[in-house]
Amino acid sequence: MPDYGHDLLFGTFVTPSVSPAHHAVDLAVTADRAGLDLVTFQDHPYQPRFHDTWTLLSYVASRTERIHLSGNVLSLPLRQPAVLARSAASLDLLSGGRVELGLGAGAFWDAIDAMGGRRLSPAQAVAALEEAIAIMRQLWAADRPGGVHVKGDYYTADGAKRGPAPAHDIGIWVGAYKPRMLALTGRAADGWLPSLPYLPGGPSDLADLNARIDEAATSAGRSPSDVRRLLNLNGRFSDTSTSLLNGPPDQWAEELAGLTLEHGITGFVLATDDEYATELFASEVAPATRELVAAERRG
Amino acid sequence: MHYGHALTFGTFLTPSARDPGQVVSLATRAEELGFDLVTIQDHPYQPAHLDAWTLLTWLAGRTRRVTLAPGVLNLPLRAPAVLAGAAASLDRLSGGRLALALGAGAFWKAIGAMGGRTLSPGESVAALSEAIDLIRARWDVTGEGPVRLHGEHYHVDGAARGPAPAHDVPLWLGAAKPRMLRLLGEKADGWVVTHQLLRPGQLAQGNRRIDEAAVAAGRDPREIRRLLNVSGDFLGGPGEKWVEELLPLVVDDGVGTFILMTDDAETLERFAGEVAPALREAVERELPGAFRRPLRRAAVRARRREGIAYDDLPETLADTTIEPGDVGYAEVRSTYLRGGAPGLVLRPGTEEEVAEALAFARAHPHLPLSLRSGGHGISGRSTNDGGIVLDVSRLDSIDVVDPARRRVHIGPGARWMDVAAALAPHGLALTSGDYGGVGVGGLATAGGLGFLARKHGLTIDHLRAVRMVLADGSVVRASDHENPDLFWAVRGAGANFGIVTSFEFEADEVGDVGWAQLVFDASDTAGLLHRWGAAQEAAPRDVTSFLLVSPPRRGRPPMAHLMAMVDTADPETILDRLRPLAEIGPLYDQSVVLTSYASVMANASPDAHDGRGEPVTRSAFAEHITPEFAADAERLIRGGAVYFFQIRSVGGAVADVPPDATAYAHRSANFSVTTFGVDRRRVDAAWDRLAEHVDGLYLSFETDTRPERLADAFPPATLRRLRELKAAYDPDNVFRDNFNITPSTTKEPTHA
Ligand SMILES: Cc1cc2nc3c(=O)[nH]c(=O)nc-3n(C[C@H](O)[C@H](O)[C@H](O)COP(=O)(O)OP(=O)(O)OC[C@H]3O[C@@H](n4cnc5c(N)ncnc54)[C@H](O)[C@@H]3O)c2cc1C
């Protein structure tokens, strides 16, 4: 059933390798020049082989022109929500509205704990994420009266000043698979950002997961289309078609258009550190997919 | 009273969120005006401000030269372990331009409203002290074990170390009260203080407190830079008046940096034009020659090795040189195959700096000296223990100066994969080796046995000239016409004669190539070797292949891995050429692609080297792979002394060059044989048994240091000539880290 009707976004998921220092920057610049909509980076502050993702995003933003940027996803337990909200608004202002906020409730708790972060159970982490989202939304709503007031079990803001307002409505995108997180996504997020390789049943798992989000959105008085559905992908370009996203670009386009029309996915984020694949994704897959979807939507 | 820091100037900008473009343009304007530093105040609870860290990082992408620092960063709202990583990232992304200025916190009510923890002043100083330890520990990638700190305020238990920043990021503190000043003297690298907020005499008093604490902690007060925020109001009146007011602060109070607090472009311009240069001059007049480069921290100096005059390093090299206590040390101490612990790694960035670095190294004749380009030396001991490494990897330019004549100029620090990638768009390639990570400097001074050898010869056969720094510090060009003797010697024994700073090559036109990887069952090892040798010798020149045989392991038979390049884009020819090679034994696996030379070469990781121990290798040349040789080779492979055995085909165009035309003399050989093992004595004993089948050796693959090896590397006439030239060009034997040719004893007059 669902095609939530959003326009399509195409992006990459680039390894934030710390060495060579500009590896990820160069790939992001390639994606920007190639005309992709989005470049994203994973965030593991405890991983010494990776850049600090917020710093990398800020730097990449200053070296690119049109592309939007997001963590994929930021590790909330090691980032103070009010500071993060203000940082995101700042980068959004500096970049002319190119920041989206991919957020995760946290994973690798041993590593988080070793860094001095707080260890939470899965249920606690979901609750903490919801509190953080509330703080961030209040802080961005600069024209509302009064300060930010959220009295949570995990995060509290008690009269922090609001602002600055970001340059555009920053999308809060959440990586979610389990019922509690899916419900939170439907209630509170602007986007859903799972990874195809983590879906044990492949794309067909999407139907069920979407339905849970839709349900949660509806019961929170929102519309299911308030939540954009994005998907992290792995794939390989090759001359002959062997399996899902393993074949020539036109095969990809058909498969991605299928994901849009059947499962409402309108953000395709390709995990790649390869310039050639990045360019091919932008120059061949994206336009062909858009065309197929547009034709189908025209009916 | 001064601390010897060269005078620098900075700005202090308001990160106003209302017009983000304004603070960005002020920062870039400051850089254009010659300011050394841009600082951004940080008040994360202030909605009218942009987040300072985000803005600083943005500015890193928009500036090229200035140092960037928060002024100062509000610690209570930032987790120190995460901050350490963020700082390392920013320092790396900006090319080493971060100074991390920290504050213990202020405006506690606002911090609390943000969800931060409110601390008493005493607690906040203690927390800052813990944070400094944590940050330094995460940066110290050479430290033992993971980071642990069970503090009152921060609890970190087992966090990984790293990433290290690109340079020794100075930690500055904003401080005014005694407790903070004491902490600063104990642990920090700079004092940031605002002039307006000081009572008369407070600067001197603060300095005293810092200095006392520094000395008590075993430090030298000169390690600590004093930075003063000064504001436009204070600096009323004409430029001379400003100079007059600022001069005593330098001369009497040891201020090393003035940070101008203004958001007004005109004030910045006036300051840069009228005040900064005049103040520098006035200071030089008052305290001539007093300003040198800042001292490295006591903790860094404590890791210095004996016998190196660290403090005599010329100014030009100081910034890029790495010593054992420096953050970058872990990435430069070792090479690809060798662990090392040098006392100093000099990293000159220009030819003049190479000469300076060499002069500095020569002032330490008692210490080992290693020369390094790409760090893939096997025979070349490009690291050492306690000595000096002269690393020219920053000379890595690749210029196609004349595509029509196929002329390219390449710096020694370039890696062959980058060379291949840069030449490919011009339809050109230079034969190199089989691994893209290898540096140009080491390979192009020794030979260069690569995948295009039979068609196009050795890498050195494409060399038309070199520029080099000789032992006496002179810079010369050598070619067939200029210093022809030297040019002869460089092509095969270059490491003994000087430091090549630029190679001038004539590349070949190379289009797409056939690239095959075949895996064989090598149970019949000898038969396979012999059949391959025969097939390869019979093959036309456009095919060059390397055969790697691995010993049997855990019930698995020996395996052979063949890599072959066919220099043609015609698929039929490629398959024709490969067919005889594919028939040498039972095939396990095969892959054949039409691809570019550059993509075959793009096979190395960009990671820093972290070799351990010493490679144990042997090398030899062979004319043919006779059945007898093949049988003895099988015995070696199965004997357990070696884990890697490779034969490469050479011959073809390599043999077109007469043996006396270059110092690389083994032109007639069809094969180069190499082995790696673990135990020196076992490998040597096993290898020496091949002696009757082989002749000579390729020095780049040989690590045996017994004196006979020199005679294997160079035939008598070649060696005689090399010795004479060595006496002329390097009579003191400065260059000795790679197949050292001792000068002939009859000293000749040095070259003109
Ligand atoms: C994985 C691997 C694969 C290899 N494959 C091949 C191959 O296919 N074909 C081949 O021919 N060789 C090959 N080699 C050998 C390689 O060419 C030599 O080890 C070479 O010295 C490495 O050059 P480098 O600049 O990377 O090494 P470095 O370690 O930087 O230098 C090695 C030595 O070269 C000398 N040297 C370095 N720079 C200069 C300079 N600017 N001027 C003068 N002398 C200098 C010094 O004596 C130094 O000790 C390989 C080595 C490795 C480790």
Average per-residue pLDDT in chain A? 96
In a domain, B205, yes or no: yes
Residue of A nearest to B96 (CA): A21
Domain containing B259 equals: 8-286
Residues of A within 8 A of B48 (CB-CB) are 163-164
Q: What angle do CA B315, B321, B323 make, to 5 degrees?
A: 125
Q: Are B260 and B228 in contact (CB under 8 A)?
A: no
Interstrand relation of B499-506 and B407-410 (parallel, antiparallel or unpaired): antiparallel
Cα–Cα distance for residue pair B581/B577, rounded to 1 Å: 8
Q: Which residues contact B177 (CB under 8 A, 6 or more apart)?
A: B121
**Is the peptide bond prior to B163 cis by the omega test (within 30 degrees of 0)?**
yes
Q: What pLDDT sits at residue B751?
A: 45
φ and ψ at B26, to 5 degrees?
-65, -40
With contact defined as beta carbons under 8 Å apart, do B390 and B346 qualify? yes
Per-residue pLDDT tens digits for B157-201: 999 999 999 999 999 999 999 999 999 999 999 999 999 999 999
Cα–Cα distances in Å, from A102 out to A175, A213, B450? 7, 17, 47
Q: How far apart are CA B151 and CA B138, in angstroms?
A: 15
Token pair for B307:
């016998």
pLDDT at B1 over 90: no
pLDDT digits (tens, 9 = 90+) for A223-243: 999 999 999 999 999 888 889
Chain B nearest-CA distance from A73, in A, is 16
- Residue B440 CA to ligand 1 centre (angstroms): 7
* Closest of B366, B422, B372 to residue B392, by C-alpha: B372
Nearest to B607 among A19, A51, A163 (CB): A19
Average pLDDT over every residue of A23-47: 97
* Statement: residue B280 has pLDDT above 50: yes
**Considering the domain boundaries, does residue B310 fall inside one?**
no
Residues B141, A48: C-beta atoms closer than 8 Å: yes
How far apart CA B646 and CA B643 sit, in angstroms, is: 10
Report pTM: 0.84
Judge if the beta carbon of residue B378 lies within 6 A of ligand 1: yes
In a domain, B726, yes or no: no
B433-453 pLDDT, tens digit per residue, is 999 999 999 999 999 999 999
Write the Ramachandran bin of B289: left for phi over 0, alpha for psi from -120 to 50, otherwise beta. left
Ligand 1 and B495: CB distance under 6 A: yes
Nearest residue (by CA) to ligand 1, atom 53, is B376
Q: Is the pLDDT of residue A127 over 50?
A: yes
Is the pLDDT at B69 greater than 60? The verdict is yes
Q: What is the CA radius of gyration of chain A?
A: 19
Band of pLDDT at residue B752, cut at 50, 70 and 90 = very low
Measured between CA atoms, the residue of chain B closest to residue A161 is B47
Q: Which residue has the tokens 């096997």?
A: B378
Across residues B641-654, what is the average pLDDT?
97
Half-sphere exposure of B362 (CA within 13 A, CB side): 18
10 Å CB burial of residue B344 (0-12, 13-18, 19+) is buried
Residue B243 φ/ψ, nearest 5 degrees: -60, -45
pLDDT band at A290 (very low <50, low <70, confident <90, very high): very high
In a domain, B528, yes or no: yes
Spatial separation of the C-alpha atoms in residues B648 and B657, rounded to whole Å:
19
Query: Which is nearest to B461 in space by CA: B662, B660, B698?
Result: B662
Q: Give the gap in angstroms from C-alpha A178 to the nearest C-alpha of chain B.
A: 28
Does residue A143 have a pLDDT over 90?
A: yes
Domain locations along chain A: 9-298
In percent, the amount of chain B with pLDDT more than 90 equals: 90
pLDDT of residue B233: 58
Q: Which stretches of B551-689 are assigned E, i.e. beta strand?
A: 559-566, 587-595, 616-622, 642-649, 671-677
Question: Span B385-413, mean pLDDT?
Answer: 97
Strand A99-104 vs strand A68-71: parallel, antiparallel, or unpaired? parallel
Which residues of chain B neighbour A156 with C-beta distances below 8 Å? Answer: 115
Give the three-class secondary structure for B344: strand
How close does chain A come to B75, measured CA to CA in Å? Answer: 12
Beta carbon of B499 within 6 Å of any ligand 1 atom? yes
The residues, ordered by sequence, that sit 6+ positions from B528 with a Cβ below 8 Å of its Cβ are B520, B522, B549, B560, B584, B585
Q: What is the CATH number of the domain that holds B547?
A: 3.40.462.20
Does ligand 1 lie within 6 Å of residue B345's CB atom?
no
Per-residue pLDDT, averaged over A257-268, amounts to 97
Q: Minimal CA–CA distance to B316: which of B399, B394, B383?
A: B394
Confidence band (pLDDT; 50, 70, 90) for B155? very high
User: Helix, strand or coil for residue B113?
Assistant: helix
Backbone angles phi, psi at B721, to 5 degrees: -65, -40
Q: Which of B286, B320, B345 is the last residue of a domain?
A: B286
Give residue B445 CA to ligand 1 midpoint distance, Å. 8
Percent of chain B with pLDDT over 70: 98
Would the pLDDT of A110 be above 90? yes
Q: Which residues contact A296 (CB under 8 A, 6 or more apart)?
A: A257, A261
CA distances (Å), origin B544, targets A69, B492, B537, B599: 47, 21, 10, 17
pLDDT at B750: 45
In terms of Cβ atoms closer than 10 Å to its own Cβ (0-12, 13-18, 19+), residue B657 is: middle
Closest CA to B563 of B673, B647, B678, B448: B647
Q: Is the peptide bond before A73 cis (omega within 30 degrees of 0)?
A: yes
Quick check: A52 and B58 CB within 8 A?
A: no
H/E segment holding residue B259: strand B257-261
The answer to whether the CB of A5 falls within 8 A of the CB of A280 is: no
Burial class (CB within 10 angstroms; exposed 0-12, middle 13-18, buried 19+) of B307: exposed
Atom of ligand 1 nearest to the CA of B490: 43
> Which of B17, B62, B157 lies at the smallest CB-CB distance from A164?
B17
| Single residue among B262, B286, B310 that ends a domain in this structure | B286
Does the beta carbon of B619 lie inside 6 Å of ligand 1?
no
A162/B606 Cβ within 8 A: no
> pLDDT at residue B289 above 70?
yes
Total number of domains in chain B: 2
CA atoms within 13 A on the CB side of B372: 31
Q: What phi and psi, each to the nearest 5 degrees, are found at residue B433?
A: -145, -155
Q: What is the pLDDT of residues B602-618, one digit of tens each?
A: 999 878 888 999 999 99
Q: Which of B41, B50, B51, B73 should be substituted to probe chain A, the one whose Cβ sees the most A Cβ atoms within 10 Å?
A: B51
pLDDT in tens, B200-251: 999 999 999 999 999 999 999 999 999 999 986 545 677 788 999 999 999 9
Residue B748 confidence class, pLDDT cut points 50, 70, 90: very low
**Is pLDDT at A299 greater than 90 in this prediction?**
no
Quote the mean pLDDT of chain B. Answer: 95
pLDDT band at B319 (very low <50, low <70, confident <90, very high): confident
Instruction: Check pocket membership of B107 for ligand 1, CB cut-off 6 A.
Output: no
Neighbouring-strand partners of residue A233: A270
The CATH superfamily of A9-298 is: Luciferase-like domain (3.20.20.30)
- H-helix segments, B524-570: 525-538
Average pLDDT for residues A4-16, to the nearest whole number? 97
Flag whether B246 is in a domain: yes
CA distance B647 to B565: 15
What gap in Å lies between CA A166 and CA A92, rounded to an integer?
Answer: 6
Check pLDDT > 90 for residue A45.
yes
What φ, ψ does residue A239 adopt, rounded to 5°? Answer: -75, -35
Question: Of B662, B687, B702, which marks where a domain is finished?
Answer: B702
Average pLDDT over residues B382-408: 97
Distance from the B406 Cα atom to the nearest Cα atom in chain A, whole angstroms: 27
Q: CB B364: neighbour CB atoms within 10 A?
A: 16
- Say how many CB pairs under 8 Å bridge A and B: 178
Contact B666, B688 (CB under 8 A): no
pLDDT confidence of residue B235: 56
Q: Of A21, A48, A117, which is closest to B93 when you measure between CB atoms? A: A21
List residues bridging with B504 in a β-sheet: B409, B465
pLDDT of residue B749: 44
Q: Residue A63 and residue B61: Cβ atoms within 8 Å?
A: yes
The 10s digit of each residue's pLDDT in B451-460 is 999 999 999 9
Q: Is the dihedral of CA B112, B116, B117, B118 positive or negative?
A: negative
At residue B746 the predicted structure's pLDDT band, cuts being 50, 70 and 90, is low
Q: What is the largest CA-CA distance in chain B?
A: 94
Per-residue pLDDT of B252-271, as tens digits, reads 999 999 999 999 999 999 99
Which pLDDT value is given to residue B142?
Answer: 83
DSSP E strands in B495-573: the ranges are: 499-506, 508-509, 513-521, 543-550, 559-566
